[in-house]
Amino acid sequence: MLKISQVAINELEKMLKKSPLDKGLYYRLAIKPLWTGPGDFGIVKDKKLTSDLIFGENACNLLVDKELAKELTKSTFDFKETPQGRGFTLDVY
């Protein structure tokens, strides 16, 4: 099962405080083509679909498509300082 680090949850909470989500919207772990930013994945605001699983805790829920979640069963979603700067990471084992 995909794991979400406490550091990543804390960062999602900061994002929520800074920019609250409209009713019915969640943060989603998105890959291309939904994710259009730099890198292989990112966080977008989106509605919950029937094909989604919810990860996280309390108000900091993260939507992940069931098929994507299957591919990430041994992965950890984290927030780290890297040579490229601070940001969310997806460690796939």
Kind of pairing between the strands at 25-31 and 60-65: parallel
Total-model pTM: 0.87
**What residues does each domain of the chain span?**
3-75
Domain 3-75, CATH class in plain words:
mainly beta
Confidence of residue 86 (pLDDT cuts 50, 70, 90): very high
pLDDT in tens, 22-64: 999 999 999 999 999 988 999 999 999 999 999 987 678 899 9
| Residue 24, φ and ψ in degrees, nearest 5 | 85, 0
- Of 45, 56, 59, 58, nearest to 79 (Cα)? 56
